[in-house]
Structure 1
Amino acid sequence: MAEHNELGKKGEQLAIDFLIKNDYIILEKNYRYLKAEVDIIALKKDLLAVVEVKTRSTDYFGNPQDFVNPKKIKLLLSAIDYYVNEKDLDVEVRFDIIAIIHQKKETRLEHLKDAFLHF
Structure 2
Amino acid sequence: MPTDAHALGHAGEAAAANFYQRAGYEILAQGYRHGRAEIDLIVRQGAALLVFVEVKTRSGAQYGPPETFVSARKKELFRLAATHLQEEMDWRGDIRFDILAITQLSQGFRIEAFEDAFY
Q: Same fold (TM over 0.5)?
A: yes
Q: C-alpha separation between the residues in 2 aligned to 1:107 and 1:18?
A: 11
Q: Please state how far the C-alpha of 1:103 moved relative to its aligned partner.
A: 2.5
Aligned counterpart in structure 2 of residue 96 of structure 1, from 95, 98, 106: 98
Matched AA of 1:104: S
Q: 1:18 & 1:58 partners in 2: Cα distance?
A: 19
Q: Tell me by how many angstroms 1:88 deviates.
A: 0.6
The TM-score, its normalising length taken from structure 2, stands at 0.93
- Letter matched to residue 19 of structure 2: F
Q: 1:106 to 1:78 in 2, by over 3 A?
A: same
Deviations 1:54-97 (A, max 9, x none): 00011111100000000000000000101000111111110001
Distance 1:114 1:103 in 2: 26
- The residue aligned with 2:4 is 3
* 1:14-57 CA-partner distances (Å, limit 9, x unpaired): 00001000010000100000000100000002110100000001
1:106 Cα deviation after fit:
4.9
Give 2:31's aligned residue.
30
Match of 1:76 in 2: 78
Q: Given residue 35 of structure 1, which amino acid in structure 2 is its aligned partner? A: R
Matches of 1:97 and 1:17 in 2, distance apart? Answer: 15
Give ranges in structure 2 of 5+ residues lacking alignment. none
Secondary structure of 1:60's counterpart equals coil
Structure 1 CA distance, aligned partners of 2:107 and 2:89? 41
| C-alpha distance in structure 1 between counterparts of 2:52 and 2:93, whole Å | 12
Instruction: Give, in whole Å, the separation in 1 of the partners of 2:78 and 2:110.
Output: 25
- Structure 1 residue 87 corresponds to structure 2 residue 55: no
Alignment-derived partner of residue 112 in structure 1:
114
- Give structure 1 stretches of 5+ with no counterpart: none
Q: Structure 1 length as normaliser, TM-score?
A: 0.93
Give identity over the alignment, percent.
38
